[in-house]
Chains A and B, each alone.
Chain A
Amino acid sequence: PVGMQPPLLVVSALLAAVLRCFGPRGGSVFFTRDTGDVLVTRHGQKILRSLQLEHPAARLIVDCVHTHCQIAADGSKSFLLLLSALLSEMVSCCGASWDSATARRLAQRLLQFCWTGLDDVIARGVTQRASLLAICGYHGDVVEGLVRGYMAGRVGDGPAKVLSPLVCRFYQKWSGGVRGAEPVAVIHTHFSLLHTAVSGLPIGCSGVAEGLVLERDWSAFFEHGPRVEVLVLAASVCPAAEPGRGCVCDRCVAWPQVCVCAQQLGACVLLSAAKQPDWVLQWARRNRVCLAECLDPERLDLLCLLGQSRPTPAGRVATATSVRRLVLGGRRLAAVVPAHAPRAHTLLLCGPGPGPLDQSVSEDQSQSPAADCWAEALGSGCLLPVGGAFELLLHDFLLSSDWTGDPQVSRLLARAVLSVPGALHSHKPRHFLQLHAHFLRQGSGGPSRPWSGGLESVAAKRQLLSAVLQCAAKLLTVETVLRVHAPLRTSRSDEEED
């Protein structure tokens, strides 16, 4: 049996590496490479992936963190905090090494609590009291509260002061004043296409731009009237009369068809995913037609979707209210406002370097599971103030006589969850005690002070706890470590090249 000492030490070492970046007041880590590349980041997952880890328990833990972050889009440092606290509670309870039968039994009990007891505990101990705490006393928009809570933990207090109102305005533009989960779901589904990262500018230059930003500048740009037809070309243009005859490219659009379409429909904007020949550019300049090339095909698809495009022999045609050229520092970007989607806006995020920019946007492109958490939170109203409310409520309920589940696991978990608010308020321990007293008073129906800070969703916290319990159970069931000298085939091997 491997015992608990090595996994506990591994988790503690990984936690010590990322803890300095935890919470709104956390700092950043500055990485340099031998090639001269520099990265400034406080993103837990990025830091973990930059460490060189050969120990199998370390790799297992980093994989579990990665899986959790793909679902929740945040929480890598909280994951390590909870896991470390849980393991050290187990060690001080039972000693550093025990036989494999005991370890397996404990793992089973953890998993059983995770599958059957956790939802019950959260429903009775947290959700019921959450509706009293947050919504009745909350002043302000709920989406704004969620954004504020999320951004403060992710980018830190300073940048959050600039970015939170911006993100809130972005949501408001999309929702058009309609409250609900639907605009949030739409934004999260297409978020990778609805934001543009601009490096080399201060964070204060970030903003919300009308329409869709195409991430490249116009090759030819002219001001046009209030309503323009946009022709979206799928391939490069060929001068031959018919494609395939007299031309060497296998996929191309016939130039005569483009001319005909442009004349008949009055299309004065050409957008293309492919690079067009020089003579097309010259033609566009002569005829005052806007042209943008080498664009992202997915953005063009979204534009066609929002602009309700119709197919023509030359390509797709959509209607736009206006086309603009945005100037941000030294960078110029093309923007198109689709006519049938006046609420479409793009978030422009500026940052001094790639690290802070990655902080502002999640690396994971699959945003929809995170959207599920937020959408569910908005729909059901299970929101709590940030800063430890969830953990304090859970701790009190697990130790109370109202809960009659597995006492050993309950005690372990109750003591472990306090590590998160403890670390958040480590600079001011008295503040933590005051917070505890405040929530206890509120829970028992005492006088309530309205909360105006950030909010977090109970669903996200539940997901975090479940992931931590499963990871701890995995670590407990490791019996022997086998050294293998042949390389293992993993699907993540190309990601590790970062």
Chain B
Amino acid sequence: MALNADDEDFEWEPPSDAEMKVIQARRERQDKISKLMGDYLLKGYKMLGECCEVCQTILLQDKQKKNYCVSCQELDSDVDKDNPALNAQAALSQVRERQLASQPAAGDPPLSITGQPRPEHCEGAASGLRGPLPPQAAVGPAAVAPPAPVPAPQCPAAAPHPALLSAEEAVLHKLRWATQELQQSASVEASVQLCGLIRGCADSLRSLKELQGS
């Protein structure tokens, strides 16, 4: 962005709608975290110089010397379903939005927001943006939507088999990642979400196998 460029280049581009939604969601979450932290500070909690290993939020310490992370222990228990920064379902609906917006230029792969993978929970949004365009009918609502897009046999630009293989690879990769996260997860809600993700991956793999078989 502008500040990473030379001093002479001041080409500040306003963020797109999708980016704005992510920024807005992130800002709202940060506001909630800081409000909670302010309340706890007034109640006598100490603000430590350390950050939480999971979410990098600054840790608080109560009078019994117990460390407390506001984000993990308080906010994650009522996760905002529409927050694309946190929820894979919301991220996927954002992906669909972008695809709708860029549909006149069908056949071109959508550009990713940043060239680098996001450090958030839903890597699906980033990988979804880098994948090929799926058709409207194939992307149906699921309990927890799979992070990788369902491959498109009708897609004219890519051959079915390589697309199916790469989709399968992506889903397997995500499945492996989710499994690792599940093993390390300490929070109940995060575990539930990861299980949902694994189920979604399994459903995707089943659909891919059916497509390959047909």
**Does B157 lie at the interface of the complex (its beta carbon under 8 Å from any beta carbon of A)?**
no
Complex Cα–Cα for A15 and B30 (A): 13
**Does B56 lie at the interface of the complex (its beta carbon under 8 Å from any beta carbon of A)?**
yes
Looking at A51-59, A148-156, A321-329, A349-357, the stretch in contact with chain B turns out to be A51-59
Structural contact, A102 and B4, CB atoms closer than 8 A: yes
CB 8 Å contact bits of B3-47 with A (1 = contact, 0 = none): 110010010100000000001000100110111011101101111
Structural contact, B34 and A13, CB atoms closer than 8 A: yes
Question: Which chain B residues border A459 with CB–CB below 8 Å?
Answer: none
Give the distance to chain B from A426, nearest Cβ to Cβ, in Å. 13
Structural contact, A52 and B47, CB atoms closer than 8 A: yes
Find the residue from B33, B41, B46, B56 having the highest chain A CB count within 10 A: B41
Structural contact, B47 and A53, CB atoms closer than 8 A: yes
Structural contact, B2 and A17, CB atoms closer than 8 A: no
Complex Cα–Cα for A95 and B7 (A): 18
Structural contact, B41 and A13, CB atoms closer than 8 A: yes
Q: Which of B2, B3, B4, B58 contacts A9 (CB 8 A)?
A: B58
Complex Cα–Cα for A12 and B3 (A): 23
A31's nearest neighbour on chain B, judged by CB, is B42
Question: Which chain A residues border B4 with CB–CB below 8 Å?
Answer: 94, 98, 102
**Does B179 lie at the interface of the complex (its beta carbon under 8 Å from any beta carbon of A)?**
no
Complex Cα–Cα for A47 and B47 (A): 14
Give the distance to chain A from B65, nearest Cβ to Cβ, in Å. 12
**Does B1 lie at the interface of the complex (its beta carbon under 8 Å from any beta carbon of A)?**
yes
Interface size on A (CB < 8 Å)?
Answer: 35
Question: Which chain A residues border B7 with CB–CB below 8 Å?
Answer: 105
Q: Chain B, interface size: which category? A: 20 to 34
Question: Which chain A residues border B191 with CB–CB below 8 Å?
Answer: none
Question: Which chain B residues border A5 with CB–CB below 8 Å?
Answer: 56
Using known A-B contacts A29-B42, A481-B49, determine if residue A408 contacts B2 with beta carbons closer than 8 Å.
Answer: yes
Using known A-B contacts A10-B47, A53-B47, A58-B47, determine if residue A94 contacts B1 with beta carbons closer than 8 Å.
Answer: yes
**Does A14 lie at the interface of the complex (its beta carbon under 8 Å from any beta carbon of B)?**
yes
**Does A295 lie at the interface of the complex (its beta carbon under 8 Å from any beta carbon of B)?**
no
**Does A491 lie at the interface of the complex (its beta carbon under 8 Å from any beta carbon of B)?**
no
Question: Which chain B residues border A55 with CB–CB below 8 Å?
Answer: 47-49, 58
Question: Which chain A residues border B47 with CB–CB below 8 Å?
Answer: 10, 13, 51-55, 58
Question: Which chain A residues border B102 with CB–CB below 8 Å?
Answer: none
Using known A-B contacts A93-B1, A95-B1, determine if residue A54 contacts B10 with beta carbons closer than 8 Å.
Answer: no
**Does B93 lie at the interface of the complex (its beta carbon under 8 Å from any beta carbon of A)?**
no
**Does A249 lie at the interface of the complex (its beta carbon under 8 Å from any beta carbon of B)?**
no
Give the distance to chain B from A97, nearest Cβ to Cβ, in Å. 9
Q: Which of A13, A17, A29, A106 contacts B3 (CB 8 A)?
A: A106
Q: Which of B2, B23, B42 contacts A51 (CB 8 A)?
A: B42
Question: Which chain B residues border A12 with CB–CB below 8 Å?
Answer: 30-31, 33-34, 37-38
Give the distance to chain A from B30, nearest Cβ to Cβ, in Å. 7
**Does A360 lie at the interface of the complex (its beta carbon under 8 Å from any beta carbon of B)?**
no
Question: Which chain B residues border A29 with CB–CB below 8 Å?
Answer: 42
Find the residue from B3, B10, B33 having the highest chain A CB count within 10 A: B3
**Does A16 lie at the interface of the complex (its beta carbon under 8 Å from any beta carbon of B)?**
yes
**Does A334 lie at the interface of the complex (its beta carbon under 8 Å from any beta carbon of B)?**
no
**Does A88 lie at the interface of the complex (its beta carbon under 8 Å from any beta carbon of B)?**
yes
Structural contact, A16 and B34, CB atoms closer than 8 A: yes
Structural contact, B42 and A53, CB atoms closer than 8 A: no
**Does A297 lie at the interface of the complex (its beta carbon under 8 Å from any beta carbon of B)?**
no
Structural contact, B45 and A88, CB atoms closer than 8 A: no
Give the distance to chain A from B187, nearest Cβ to Cβ, in Å. 20
Complex Cα–Cα for A56 and B56 (A): 16
Using known A-B contacts A16-B38, A92-B27, A407-B10, determine if residue A9 contacts B33 with beta carbons closer than 8 Å.
Answer: yes
Structural contact, A9 and B37, CB atoms closer than 8 A: yes
Using known A-B contacts A52-B45, A88-B27, A94-B3, determine if residue A16 contacts B39 with beta carbons closer than 8 Å.
Answer: yes
Question: Which chain B residues border A277 with CB–CB below 8 Å?
Answer: none
Question: Which chain B residues border A411 with CB–CB below 8 Å?
Answer: 12
Question: Which chain B residues border A408 with CB–CB below 8 Å?
Answer: 2-3, 10, 12
**Does A244 lie at the interface of the complex (its beta carbon under 8 Å from any beta carbon of B)?**
no
Complex Cα–Cα for A93 and B45 (A): 32
**Does A6 lie at the interface of the complex (its beta carbon under 8 Å from any beta carbon of B)?**
yes
Using known A-B contacts A52-B46, A54-B49, determine if residue A98 contacts B37 with beta carbons closer than 8 Å.
Answer: no
**Does A430 lie at the interface of the complex (its beta carbon under 8 Å from any beta carbon of B)?**
no
**Does A483 lie at the interface of the complex (its beta carbon under 8 Å from any beta carbon of B)?**
yes
Interface residues of B in 139-179 (CB under 8 A from A): none
Find the residue from B4, B23, B33 having the highest chain A CB count within 10 A: B4
Q: Which of A47, A53, A94, A98 contacts B46 (CB 8 A)?
A: A53
**Does B186 lie at the interface of the complex (its beta carbon under 8 Å from any beta carbon of A)?**
no
Give the distance to chain A from B165, nearest Cβ to Cβ, in Å. 34
Complex Cα–Cα for A483 and B34 (A): 24
Give the distance to chain A from B97, nearest Cβ to Cβ, in Å. 20
Complex Cα–Cα for A411 and B2 (A): 13
**Does A252 lie at the interface of the complex (its beta carbon under 8 Å from any beta carbon of B)?**
no
Complex Cα–Cα for A52 and B44 (A): 7
List 12 interface pairs A-B (beta carbons < 8 Å), by A numbering: A6-B51, A8-B30, A9-B30, A9-B37, A10-B47, A12-B34, A15-B34, A15-B38, A52-B41, A55-B49, A92-B23, A483-B49
B residues contacting A by CB (< 8 A) are 1-4, 7, 10, 12, 23, 27, 30-31, 33-35, 37-39, 41-42, 44-49, 51, 56-58
A residues contacting B by CB (< 8 A) are 5-6, 8-10, 12-17, 19, 29, 47, 51-56, 58, 88, 92-95, 98, 102, 105-106, 407-408, 411, 481, 483
